[in-house]
Amino acid sequence: MTIEESKNSVNQSFLSTLTKVTTKDSLSEDSFASILASQLDGSTSSSDESTISAASAESNAAVEAFKEALTSKGSLQFYQEYNQEKIEQLMEEKKAELEDKLGLSADSEPPLSGEDRENAISMLDTMLDAYRKQLQEKMQAEDKLEQENTMLNTFLQDLA
């Protein structure tokens, strides 16, 4: 067998394989298309459409509110307020947790009174202040890390 004959043989086998694959793909496309068409024709109802449009309207309103807040405040102030909101939310969760642990919650048995309550409140304030500082330091460290990663990526792109 010469090189030319082996090329023809390989080309013929590729051609036959391609023909088989193309035939299978067209059959699977036809079946997929028919299944999709039947699903679209039979299963779309007005309640589904109204649910989808209501969710879309809510999403659009949220996006518009986000855009408005971002443009009115500026990106830096928006980001700072966003971080402050996250800190406040985490502080509220931590305060509720610590009140339960220290016996300051309304449903604690037996309720603290007098000097014990004052000491617990003082301890709660100290713990919350430390937690707030910890959260602020964590967010600052994350911001710094993100900034350094951005600078590193820019530097690496410039090298490439």
Query: How far is the C-alpha of 160 from the C-alpha of 157, rounded, in Å?
Result: 5
Tell me, yes or no, whether 44 lies in a domain.
no
Inform me whether the pLDDT recorded for 125 exceeds 90.
yes
Mean pLDDT for the stretch of residues 10-33:
57
Q: How many residues does the chain have?
A: 160
Tell me, yes or no, whether 116 lies in a domain.
yes
pLDDT at 27: 47
Q: Provide the pLDDT confidence category of residue 48 given band limits of 50, 70 and 90.
A: low
Mean pLDDT for the stretch of residues 145-152:
89
Nearest of 115, 114, 95 to residue 105 by alpha carbon = 95
**3-class SS at 142?**
helix
Mean residue pLDDT across the chain: 77
Query: How far is the C-alpha of 65 from the C-alpha of 59, rounded, in Å?
Result: 10
Tell me, yes or no, whether 8 lies in a domain.
no
- Name 124's Cβ contacts closer than 8 Å, sequence gap at least 6: 95, 98, 99, 102, 104
pLDDT tens for 83-122 read: 899 999 999 999 989 888 888 877 777 777 788 888 888 9
Count: domains in the chain: 1
Query: What residue numbers bound the domain in which 69 lies?
Result: 64-159
pLDDT at 20: 56
Tell me, yes or no, whether 108 lies in a domain.
yes
Inform me whether the pLDDT recorded for 133 exceeds 60.
yes
Tell me, yes or no, whether 59 lies in a domain.
no
